[in-house]
């Protein structure tokens, strides 16, 4: 399910690159994307609630040779959602997911704003930085994806500037890329370390195979 969501987000993003040319279009795109997310959530809820009827219907219209594969995929999807015991858990998880995205985009915007202003980039540049960083970190690379993230952020700047990164701006672009990545890593370390210390003091952390669980 996570891979499916990641794939859909990548599709949304590349659509954004193709069609967005102004802040007005960005607002329209965000509205359409929000509507798509809401429809996806409703579809997911209906899929869980009427799973047996839905699977029976799909089996009746697809060739019999795909029935086994369909059953396996459905079984894995349902088992993957088995840790949700109540509707409140599902609602809280979705709310935290959306709030998390909003907070992260806000952090990218705050950290990159001075450079956005200096380079005359559009206000939605932070969304490009956010998504390019996420895609770069998902690729196999060196520790912390240093080179990959830097190149991903550079591509984001190139796209936002229509490929016109002049020699007079290259130092400012480099400063944006290096400082943004450095501050994000430091923020991860500080917040992650604070969470570990707080929960260790409360005795709510369990270490299993060098991984911690709250």
Q: Which pLDDT tens digit goes with each residue over 50-78?
A: 888 888 887 788 777 777 887 887 777 77
Residue 30 inside a domain? The answer is: no
Residue 103 inside a domain? The answer is: yes
Residue 130 inside a domain? The answer is: yes
22/36 Cα distance (integer angstroms): 21
Residue 177 inside a domain? The answer is: yes
Q: Which pLDDT tens digit goes with each residue over 165-201?
A: 766 788 888 888 888 888 888 888 898 888 888 877 7
Residue 156 inside a domain? The answer is: yes
Residue 155 inside a domain? The answer is: yes
Residue 55 inside a domain? The answer is: no
Residue 111 inside a domain? The answer is: yes
Model confidence pTM above 0.85: no
Task: Assign 3-class secondary structure to 30-71.
Answer: HHHHHHHHHHHHHHHHHHHHCHHHHHHHHHHHCCHHHHHHHH
Helix (H, G, I), strand (E, B) or coil at 108: helix
Structural domain including 139 reads 85-214
Question: What value does the mean pLDDT take over residues 120-141?
Answer: 78
* Total domains present in the chain: 1
């Amino acid at each position: 399910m996570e891979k499916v969501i990641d794939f859909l987000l990548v599709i949304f993003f590349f659509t954004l690159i193709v069609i967005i040319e102004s802040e007005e279009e960005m607002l329209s795109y965000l509205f359409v994307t929000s509507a798509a997310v809401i429809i996806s959530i409703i579809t997911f809820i209906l899929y869980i609630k009427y799973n047996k009827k839905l699977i029976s219907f799909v089996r009746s219209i697809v060739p019999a040779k795909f029935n086994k594969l369909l059953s396996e995929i459905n079984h894995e999807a349902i088992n993957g959602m088995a840790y949700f015991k109540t509707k409140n858990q599902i609602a809280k998880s979705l709310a935290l997911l959306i709030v998390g995205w909003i907070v992260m985009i806000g952090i990218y915007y705050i950290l990159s704003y001075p450079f956005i202003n200096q380079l005359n980039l559009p206000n939605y540049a932070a969304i490009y930085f956010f998504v390019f960083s996420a895609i770069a970190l998902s690729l196999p690379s060196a520790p912390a994806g240093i080179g990959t993230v830097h190149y991903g952020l550079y591509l984001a700047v190139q796209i936002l500037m229509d490929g016109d990164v002049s020699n007079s701006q290259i130092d400012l672009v480099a400063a944006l890329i290096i400082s943004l990545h450095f501050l994000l890593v430091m923020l991860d370390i500080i917040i992650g370390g604070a969470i570990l210390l707080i929960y260790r003091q409360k005795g709510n952390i369990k270490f299993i195979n060098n991984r911690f669980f709250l």
